[in-house]
């Protein structure tokens, strides 16, 4: 009975650890993306202070949307991302103005593209004897 309890505990704890790692990875990506966007948009200190909490909320909803709809029809996912962006655009617009509120999403897309390129390069470096695989183009919108 004790062995079963220990094994069950090990599985539960490893599940929590994996989830915590995913959350930490999401937070690191979110923070890097936020810094990337703020730097590219040359935000003032005041703009950055207002932008950060709105961006964090947007990022969390964006990741949730990707996770919940990523395995379904592609058009459904794209529509949900578009709806999310339209909803947050008004909040970004209040902080950054009309034109710059759209730039947030352009910089987000550039960041994702660069991140995927880096990940692909790391995979190639870790497996030098394998043929490079085609990079699958995945656009959140």
Q: Is residue 8 part of a domain?
A: no
Q: Is residue 20 part of a domain?
A: no
pLDDT in tens, the chain (141 residues): 555 544 544 454 444 444 444 678 889 999 999 999 999 999 999 999 999 999 999 999 999 999 999 888 999 999 999 999 999 999 999 999 998 999 999 999 999 999 889 888 888 888 766 555 565 555 665
pTM for this predicted structure: 0.69
Q: Is residue 25 part of a domain?
A: no
Q: Is residue 133 part of a domain?
A: no
Domain span at residue 37 reads 30-117
Q: Is residue 101 part of a domain?
A: yes
Number of domains in the chain: 1
Q: How many residues does the chain have?
A: 141
d(CA 132, CA 127): 9
Q: Is residue 4 part of a domain?
A: no
Q: Is residue 86 part of a domain?
A: yes
H, E, C per residue of 16-54: HHHHHHHHHHHHHHHHHHHHHHHHHHCCCHHHHHHHHHH
Alpha carbon of 65 to those of 24, 36, 68, 89: distances in Å? 18, 22, 5, 16
Q: Is residue 141 part of a domain?
A: no
């Amino acid at each position: 009975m004790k062995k079963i309890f220990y094994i069950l505990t090990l599985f539960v704890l490893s599940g929590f650890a994996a989830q915590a790692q995913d959350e930490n990875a999401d937070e690191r990506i979110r923070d890097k993306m936020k810094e990337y966007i703020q730097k590219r948009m040359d935000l003032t200190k005041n703009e950055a202070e207002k932008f950060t909490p709105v961006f964090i909320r947007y990022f969390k909803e964006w990741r949730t949307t990707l996770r919940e709809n990523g395995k379904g029809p592609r058009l459904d996912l794209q529509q949900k991302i578009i709806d999310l962006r339209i909803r947050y655009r008004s909040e970004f617009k209040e902080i950054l103005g009309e034109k710059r509120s759209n730039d947030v999403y352009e910089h987000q897309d550039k960041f994702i593209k660069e991140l995927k390129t880096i990940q692909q390069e790391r995979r190639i470096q870790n497996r030098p004897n394998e043929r490079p695989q085609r990079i699958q183009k995945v656009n959140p919108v």
